[in-house]
Amino acid sequence: MAVKKRYWLMKSEPEKYPIDQLKEDKTTHWDGVRNYQARNFMRDDMKIGDGVLFYHSNAKPPGIVGVAEIHKESYPDFTAFDPQDKHYDPKSKHESPTWYMVDVKFVSKFKEIIALNELREMKTLEGMELLRKGSRLSVQPVEKKHFDAIVKRAEKQ
DNA sequence: GCCAACGTTGGC
DNA sequence: GCCAACGTTGGC
């Protein structure tokens, strides 16, 4: 029985991993998330085929740049085991990993970024987590109506 | 570079 | 369990 498709937003700094890189790679593993709430979404709730809004953070301007989808469900984030890695976490053990990641697949890149200031002006996005003051979660759920409104907006570009 | 809004750590 | 100090995120 198919489970209802869910929608997400995932942030990436374009200096580290821009959407163009995902387009080239086609799929990638989403490593380096070190926040428990974000981890729980990835580990427990993300299913193959779920929709993902790809957000560029720490960018000029910040905003949503395209769509991806969940390509592989959660498995241990191996970068946490590597002492040489920036995201190394000695608390995470192979037998009981602390951190998990998923694989995402490129779907589309918007013709133009939908900048954060534009998103804030869209009435249809009222209540969206991303737009909440102080929102910092790098992996967050998105309501279908919000996901659809953003994709629709992108199609009008 | 500043700083608000968190999240984490560790002393008590 | 409380909470001050500290670290991080990320917009501006």
What pLDDT, in 10s, does the model give residues A26-48?
999 999 999 999 999 999 999 99
The pTM of this model reads 0.94
Sequence-distant (≥ 6) Cβ neighbours of residue A105 within 8 angstroms: A26, A27, A68, A69, A70, A71
Where exactly are the structural domains of chain A?
7-155
Q: State, as a whole number of angstroms, the distance between the CA of A83 and the C1' of B4.
A: 32
Question: Is A42 within 8 Å of A74 (Cβ atoms)?
Answer: yes
Nucleotides on chain B that have an atom closer than 7 A to a protein CB are: 4-8
Q: What is the pLDDT of residues A51-88, one digit of tens each?
A: 999 999 999 999 999 999 999 999 999 999 988 888 88
**Strand A51-56, strand A7-12: pairing:** parallel
Is the pLDDT at A2 greater than 70, yes or no?
Answer: no
**Class of domain A7-155 (CATH, top level):** alpha beta
The answer to whether the beta carbon of residue A40 comes closer than 7 angstroms to any atom of strand B is no
Q: State, as a whole number of angstroms, the distance between the CA of A59 and the C1' of C11.
A: 9
Give the per-residue pLDDT at A90: 84
Mean pLDDT for A132-155 is 94
Mean pLDDT for A7-35 is 96
Q: What is the pLDDT of residues A100-142, one digit of tens each?
A: 999 999 999 999 999 999 999 999 999 999 999 888 999 999 9
